Amino acid sequence: MRKMFLMGRSEAGKTSLTQVIKGEKLHYKKTQYTNIAEDMIDSPGEYAESKYFSLGLACFSFEADVVAIVQAADEPYNLFGQSLHTFIQRPLIGVITKTDSVYANVPMIRQWMNDAGCERIFEVNNVTGEGVAELMDYLSEDTERLTLEQAKFKQRLGLREWDPLPEGVAYPD
């Protein structure tokens, strides 16, 4: 199971998403701090909303296998800059929550997530659980653990750690 780090504005639905994935009933609990000990790393929305804290999010990302931007389908403006994936050394995905909102504008949020460099985008409704299975399938894939030498070998090929090796290429002994 890949360890997912969640970041996004307050009320985006990060904690609710962790509850649905864990099979818990939705219950409101304001996130006050970032806990890295759990299977998923949840963070307070205020970190993403403040330029003083936002850099810290990049540090938490190193504790995770995958970083997820969480944005509600009815968010009125975008907090995240373009090409965010270039300074996060983990696969970046997008999770669009509140797809049930009457103000939902999923194509617009998708555009923001594509601009940020998300390699996969998932749409979920935390209330009904719709779309969550697809995200769980993605998370259930294991991340390959590399030795330093293997990581350096991939770098020499211009690959990121999580990119597959080209066909016919193997790590040197």
Rounded distance, CA 19 to CA 13, Å?
10
CB-nearer residue toward ligand GTP: 41 or 154: 41
Q: Which of 1, 10, 149, 157 binds ligand GTP (CB under 6 A)?
A: 10
Q: Which of 3, 31, 110, 161 binds Mg ion (CB under 5 A)?
A: 31
CA 80 to chain centre: 13
Question: Pick from ligand GTP, Mg ion, none: which does 34 bind, CB < 5 to 8 A by kind?
Answer: none
Rounded distance, CA 77 to CA 168, Å?
45
Question: Pick from ligand GTP, Mg ion, none: which does 90 bind, CB < 5 to 8 A by kind?
Answer: none
CB-nearer residue toward ligand GTP: 57 or 154: 57
Tell me if 59 sits within 8 A of 33, measured CB to CB: no
Q: Is 54 in the site for Mg ion (CB under 5 A)?
A: no
Burial (CB count within 10 angstroms: exposed 0-12, middle 13-18, buried 19+), residue 101: middle
Q: Which of 2, 7, 41, 44 binds ligand GTP (CB under 6 A)?
A: 44
- Tokens representing residue 150 in the block: 């293997």
Rounded distance, CA 140 to CA 172, Å?
28
**x/- map, 76-105, ligand GTP, by CB under 6 A:** ---------------------xx-xx----
